[in-house]
Amino acid sequence: MAPRGFYSLIPAVRGNWSRPDHRSFYGTLSQKITIYRPIVLFFKVLIMDSTQHAVLTDTEHPPVLIQPRNTQPRENAMTKPYAKLDKNNAAVLLVDHQAGLLSLVRDFQPDQFKNNVLALGDLAKYFKLPTILTTSFEQGPNGPLVQELKDQFPDAPYIARPGQINAWDNEDFVKAVKATGKKQLIIAGVVTEVCVAFPALAALEEGFDVFVVTDASGTFNEVTRNAAWDRMSQAGAQLMSWFGVACELHRDWRNDVEGLGTLFANHIPDYRNLMASYSAVQAASQGK
């Protein structure tokens, strides 16, 4: 407890802060409590009770309880089993990678983002995954689908939505997705919080397993991107990179070292060095 007369040692506050309604952090509850009250409280003796709550020993005011930090895991953390991607049960949805919308992407460098999107396309072809392309309002500022994706998938279903922002609101798109017969949807698009999040959430609601390819989806900045990631993951979507998707689909290097290694080398410069080293070792061993 502070000694009697302690408050008299503190100089009065001048200006607007000297008004009664400003002298207390608690309004008119007590004019005895000045703005210096927190300084005094700081020096009060803390007694830890049996429940590890800190209790202020002050008889003038009710005890202030400081709750201990909750270290228990959230109830919804890891409540669902680990659902692995299955190349026999997965389809790829490429949503609104349009020339106009791509100019909005700022959370990746342009060349890096283009590489990631094309890498996702290459792995879809490598694993022979059904792939669906869709765009929205091409005749408007969103622009046409980028030519590289057209070239990658000349025979894939291509749904040009007349105006629906959420691809799942377009009946033809939903029919194309369901026609694949796959329950795992690997989705990427522009922009993340709209063109990816909206159909991802709708597909989850209909019982699909959704895997969002984070580095093949782009948006304005990291703030909006992270908010979209949180929204989708809390709804049950799994967030992955294109590299992670490829590895989980492949399962075992013995399935095909050269094929997947070459795909990686085409999109990851450092992996090119790794594969070159591996090829040299293999050639040397065969020469023996």
Q: Which residues contact 126 (CB under 8 A, 6 or more apart)?
A: 246, 259, 260, 263
The pLDDT of residue 81 is 84
Q: Which residues contact 210 (CB under 8 A, 6 or more apart)?
A: 185, 187, 200, 203, 204, 232, 236, 237, 238
The pLDDT of residue 277 is 86
**Same-domain check for residues 117 and 205:** yes
pLDDT band at residue 59 using 50, 70 and 90 as cut-offs: very low
Q: Does residue 91 have a pLDDT over 60? A: yes
For the chain, the first-to-last Cα distance in angstroms comes to 87
Q: Does residue 74 have a pLDDT over 80? A: no
Residue 273 within any structural domain of the chain? yes
Residue 34: Cβ within 10 Å count:
19
Q: Which residues contact 12 (CB under 8 A, 6 or more apart)?
A: 18
In the sheet that 65-66 helps form, which strands lie side by side, from edge to edge? 46-48, 54-56, 65-66
**Same-domain check for residues 97 and 238:** yes
The neighbouring-strand residues paired with 286 are: none
**Same-domain check for residues 125 and 201:** yes
- As a whole number of angstroms, the distance between CA 233 and CA 168 comes to 18
Query: Annotated catalytic residue: which of 90, 194, 195, 263?
Result: 195
Q: Which domain holds residue 19?
A: 9-65
Supply the CATH number for residue 125's domain: 3.40.50.850
**Same-domain check for residues 215 and 104:** yes
- As a whole number of angstroms, the distance between CA 32 and CA 40 comes to 12
pLDDT band at residue 280 using 50, 70 and 90 as cut-offs: confident
Count of domains forming the chain: 3
The pLDDT of residue 176 is 99
195 is catalytic: yes
Rg (CA), the chain: 30
Residue 245 within any structural domain of the chain? yes
Average pLDDT over residues 50-77: 47
The pLDDT of residue 283 is 84
Residue 72 within any structural domain of the chain? no
- As a whole number of angstroms, the distance between CA 252 and CA 92 comes to 21
Residue 71 within any structural domain of the chain? no
Structure tokens that stand for 190 in this block:
């522009």
| pLDDT digits 0-9 by tens, 191-231 | 999 999 999 999 999 999 999 999 999 999 999 999 999 99
Average pLDDT over residues 229-240: 98
